[in-house]
Amino acid sequence: MANDKGLKALVVDDDKNICEILHMYLKNDGYSVILSHDGNEAMTKFNALSPDIVLLDVMLPGKSGIELLLSMKKKNPSVPIIMISAKDDPAERVFCLEAGAGDYITKPFEAKEVVARTNVNIKRNMAEPEIKEVRYEGLVVNMTEYKLKVNGKDVETPPKELQLLFYLASNPNRVYTRDQLLDEVWGFEYYGDSRTIDVHIKRLREKLEGVSDKWSLKTVWGVGYKFEAEDEE
C-alpha cells in the first residue's frame, strides 16, 4: 500500500461493486475512503467528515448527484468533486463543469484512471494559493470564499462566471481568445462550444454595468476578450 496521504475521499454510488472497487484502488494509493450509497446519507457524511475530494455518481436514490454537487459546492466551494455518470451526455457534462465540478468521468471506467484523475484534482487544489482575491474600484472577486462583491454588496454568481472574471481580472489588459479561456477556466476536459464564453461575458456585464469607469470587460473584435483597467498611480 502507498504511504498514507492523510486525505479523505468520499465515494458516492448506489452500485456497491463500484464503491468497493474504488475503495480498494484509492486505499492502495494512500487515501482514507468514506463510502455512501444514498444521496441524503452522502450529504450528511460530507458535512460531518469534511472529505478532501468527492467522487460522485449522477444517478442516486435520495438526492441526485447534481443536487449534491450544487449543495456541496455551496457548503465548501474549494472541495474538488469528480462527477461519474453512466451516460455520456454533453449537456450534463457542461452543466456539471460549469457548476464547479473538477472533472466528469463516464462508466465504464478504468479504476486506475479514476485514481489518477483524483490525484490531479487534489494537486490542482493544493497548488492554488490560500487567498485568491482581486480588487478594483467597486469590485472584489474572492475565489477563497467564491464571492463577488459589487459596490460592497454580495452578488450571486455561478462558479464558472466567477472563475472567468477572476482569471481575466488577474491578468488585466491582456487579450485572450475564447479557446484560451476555455483551456484556462474550463480545463482540457471541456467539450462544449467556445461561444459559451460569450454567454458568460454577457451575464457578467449585466452584473457589472456602470460600476466604474476605471475598468471594464472589453471585446476585442476578431480575437476575444480582456479585462481593461487603468494603471494605478
Task: Return per-residue pLDDT of the chain as tens, 233 residues.
Answer: 456 788 999 999 999 999 999 999 999 999 999 999 999 999 999 999 999 999 999 999 989 999 999 999 988 888 999 999 998 888 898 889 888 899 999 999 999 999 999 999 998 877 655 558 999 999 999 988 889 999 999 999 988 899 999 999 999 999 999 989 988 888 755 556 678 899 999 999 999 999 999 999 999 998 999 999 987 54
Distance CA 223, CA 195 (A): 13
By the 10 Å C-beta count (0-12 exposed, 13-18 middle, 19+ buried), 153 is classed as exposed
**Three cell numbers, residue 191:** 467539450
Distance CA 138, CA 151 (A): 4
* Each residue's pLDDT tens digit, 161-182: 999 999 999 999 999 999 899 8
- Residue 192 has what pLDDT? 62
Where in the sequence of the chain do the CATH 1.10.10.10 domains occur?
133-229
Where in the sequence of the chain do the CATH 3.40.50.2300 domains occur?
7-127
- 69 and 79 Cβ atoms separated by less than 8 Å: no
DSSP 186: I
DSSP 108-166: S--HHHHHHHHHHHHHHHHHS-S--EEEETTEEEETTTTEEEETTEE----HHHHHHHH
- Residue 233 has what pLDDT? 42
| AA identity, residue 79 | V
**Three cell numbers, residue 8:** 479523505
Strands 53-57 and 81-85: parallel
Distance CA 231, CA 227 (A): 12
Instruction: Output the CATH code of domain 7-127.
Output: 3.40.50.2300
**Three cell numbers, residue 202:** 454577457
Give the chain's radius of gyration (CA, Å). Answer: 19
* Each residue's pLDDT tens digit, 205-223: 999 999 999 999 999 998 9
Architecture of the structural domain at 133-229: Orthogonal Bundle (1.10)
Distance CA 168, CA 11 (A): 34
Rounded to 10°, the helix 159-170/90-98 angle is 60
- 194 and 182 Cβ atoms separated by less than 8 Å: yes
